[in-house]
Chain A
């Protein structure tokens, strides 16, 4: 096990901080504790390059005085550190404004899902150091053995982490959750005879060691993704159908998440603000946010304010049916929290999704490609080219050109651009290949009408 903390922090320790804040004059208070341990193992060209092993923990406090609020955080868990945490928050709350929408959730709203949701598995730390190194080494070795054009590598890795969080407030809520995760990855580098280099990456990430894909399968997939990029060329500027592979289609869902985030919605800084009940997408699109799935990367028994997580349909056959809200943004919009509050240690609660996904369709990715006489299969996107306010979308891209329904040759140094408002109406196919590799997941999709900029 990694370095353990000096003394065990209990729920009582955290509720005591809430009590101290009330004694110091707060009308309401909420305290959060988080601790985490991590192992990182990086092997490069068969040799150990980095080993990292550590743990850390911290406290966060949010206080209210009437309609004013302020927050503090610290990594100092001594009595003196806790005193500073409380006195600092009480001093800071004096400078903030009365905000009629500020405050903890109402008493009746708190709660949590029963059971542990399969979020924590001790087996992520079950391997001795030598075997962790072996997992990383095997993953890289499989990638390097797959093709003679792979002679260099960014490395193979095995990482594991666990975390524990406690949340308590002055309205009687106290909850605790533990999580674990582990992952392996390989990043091979391939070189073509002309000297041009390409890299790609593949990984498997799970809450339990037992669920990881084999190092060999991860390495092979990393190699396949890398080698197929060799000899990539630019293509002329044009409009053709774009097929987004699941990894990049997921980033489009990420943009949607930004646009349904209550903070953007109440400020009208989202192209989806004010659109509840409207058809903002084609009727072939249904999107769901579900924080209750056992073992999910986005699952939790309660949200960052102590409300139970839940499943909600965000987009119902193209009609916008829900935003993602915490208590503050719900009050601003005259709605109910959707149990999507996110709580770090510092600052006010934000908003995060549970497990957010596009419901799969019936076509296989191959069937989607087969329908396209001339188009682009997008495998990589780079840059930060989404404007949530206007929906404008423009990203650097690379991928494979589609000719007569088949992948013909690699393409790079181009951009793909459109506007999310139109892109959501122009999804012509949705694949059946929905796989959760992280908290956000999307099957293969085809979008018409976007512009490729190239030569």
Chain B
């Protein structure tokens, strides 16, 4: 365990001129028109990125972004203002602006701050030294060499390293007070393979809330580079994907994006409070096969979707969404928790200080079952085996969701055969998991590449799954 928090608070107080009295003043101003609750969200982000392209270090950039978002809640109404000028005058003016969501005399007092303890889910190192830049550069140069060495047909390689350090301070009128320093790093490799007129792409990457040594010991540049090159070369020989309903076996790890789209978004509390989700009113009902248990867990050390505290200062937790096929609960932020009379599950997140928090996923995954992955494949006469995906999307109201397979194979007579071209898979959220007939014993989390979009806000997330078999799903290819 480590206590990054006192240092983070010190950073905001000393570096940005904040103090407890100013925070209380701003909250009092925010509640001056009669709001029920107010909070301040300060953010200071340093980010850097490096890219090797055509074996040259073509770009290097770094940036600093700081600001404060001020929120006032009055019943179901939210007033929000933000500023990147953190002077007391500007903060107070923004607080008065947000206050206007309510109208009436002040009725709530600002409570004394009680600081949340930090769970210490990730270590934090210094940033931006020249030595560190050189070390990152060395990583992506290794990736470039490894991808080119994999196969002579690899003709283009782009390797990039992007990381950020996000410091936050959240203070609420209910006395909640939290700080956190959140590292996030990602190494990415994308390649083009060419054979005659035939061209294909491959990409791979990963990371998380990790330090540089993760890429030296756990997942090396070569690991990601070889994976990207392997996918591209494989795609050179891909045949058209089949079209229509068929059994689909999903490999472990990143295919868990299925859960994110099929059930995850539909179980965010705001959609259910407003009854705009296809899952609204289904708590306690079977929404999946009894073999399916799905959780959202923001407390996994070093994971991309993990947080010591969410962006409302609430501790994250493990939340059971579906247990043995039965819908158990929703992911909530403070607002929906209060309005629905349910627990705040620590899922209140936002893209930045410019955005209003809302319920979002952290790391969402299905627990392991008992089937041998080999048996799962052997059980399929004719179907699709999909192991890598691009993005997905869902219409939470009618429940229809898609995700795009970037690496998939035909299964013929229980054996994996030809690789197929990119194809979109489509299903219906509250129905599709009822067709899960086998669940593997091989749960894996993804490599740390997920970014989720909702209402125009992007946040980093994780997904995971064991190998599973869905008895039927619609595969959107062009073949027979």
A interface residues with partner B (beta carbon < 8 Å): 3, 5-6, 44, 47-58, 69-76, 81, 84, 88, 91-93, 95-99, 102, 129, 152, 154, 189, 196-199, 229, 232, 234, 237, 267-269, 271, 345-348, 380, 382-385, 387, 389-390, 392, 394-396, 398, 412-419, 450-455
Contacts and interface: CB of A to CB of B under 8 A. Distances in A.
Contact of B87 (A6, A152, A390): A6
A54 B354 contact: yes
B169 to A, nearest CB: 16
Contacts of A53: 80-81, 97-98
B64 A453 contact: no
24 contacts: A3-B83, A6-B87, A50-B356, A54-B354, A55-B83, A72-B63, A75-B65, A95-B60, A152-B275, A269-B192, A385-B390, A387-B422, A389-B192, A389-B201, A392-B421, A394-B423, A394-B424, A395-B402, A396-B426, A417-B477, A450-B478, A451-B477, A453-B475, A454-B474
A385 B66 contact: no
Given A346-B63, A413-B400, A268 B77 contact: no
A152 B274 contact: yes
B474 A453 contact: yes
A129 B64 CA distance: 33
B58 A99 contact: yes
Interface stretch (B207-215, B241-249, B286-294): B241-249
Contact of B424 (A74, A232, A385, A389): A385
Contact of A346 (B61, B90, B235, B398): B61
Given A73-B64, A347-B59, 12 more contacts: A70-B60, A76-B66, A88-B62, A92-B62, A237-B243, A267-B192, A268-B155, A268-B194, A387-B421, A412-B400, A417-B424, A455-B245
Contacts of A390: 199-201, 235, 421-422
Interface of B: 47, 49-50, 56-67, 76-85, 87, 90, 93-94, 97-98, 100-101, 130, 133-134, 137, 155-156, 158, 192, 194, 199-201, 235, 241, 243-245, 274-276, 278, 354, 356, 390-395, 397-398, 400-404, 421-428, 474-478
A414 B64 CA distance: 44
Contacts of B201: 269, 387, 389-390
A455 B402 contact: no
A95 B134 contact: yes
B365 to A, nearest CB: 21
A415 to B, nearest CB: 3
B81 A54 contact: yes
B49 A347 contact: yes
User: 3 smallest A-B Cβ distances: which pairs?
Assistant: A415-B476, A396-B402, A383-B402
A229 to B, nearest CB: 8
A380 B325 CA distance: 31
B63 A74 contact: yes
A69 B59 contact: yes
Contacts, number: 261
A383 B134 contact: no
Contacts of B67: 56, 75
Contacts of A51: 77-80, 100-101
Given A152-B274, A152-B275, A415 B424 contact: yes
Contact of A92 (B60, B81, B274): B60
A396 B85 contact: no
Nearest to B390: A384
A450 B476 CA distance: 11
Contacts of A234: 474
A406 B391 CA distance: 34
Contacts of B398: 196-199, 229, 232, 412
Nearest to B80: A52
A198 B101 CA distance: 30
Contact of B243 (A197, A348, A384, A451): A451
Contacts of A47: 76-77
A417 B101 CA distance: 47
B61 A92 contact: yes
A6 B49 CA distance: 30
Given A385-B422, A416-B476, A455 B133 contact: no
A154 B273 CA distance: 12
B392 A383 contact: yes
Given A348-B59, A418-B478, A453-B476, A383 B424 contact: yes
A75 B63 CA distance: 8
B466 to A, nearest CB: 24
A415 B81 CA distance: 41
Contacts of B475: 415, 453
B427 A268 contact: no
A98 B62 CA distance: 19
B63 A389 contact: no
Contact of B66 (A55, A75, A91, A454): A75
A184 to B, nearest CB: 17
Contact of B393 (A84, A348, A383): A383
Contacts of A395: 402, 424, 476
A57 B84 CA distance: 7
Most chain A CB within a 10 A radius of its CB, from B47, B50, B59, B401: B59
A418 B423 CA distance: 10
Contacts of B245: 237, 454-455
A264 to B, nearest CB: 10
Contacts of B133: 92, 95
A439 B295 CA distance: 41
Most chain B CB within a 10 A radius of its CB, from A69, A396, A398: A396
B245 to A, nearest CB: 6
A399 to B, nearest CB: 12
A50 B422 contact: no
A102 B53 CA distance: 13
Given A54-B82, A71-B61, A383 B400 contact: no
A81 B15 CA distance: 13
Contacts of A72: 61-63
A72 B62 CA distance: 5
B274 A44 contact: yes
Contacts of A419: 478
Given A72-B61, A129-B100, A451-B477, A413 B80 contact: no
A279 to B, nearest CB: 17
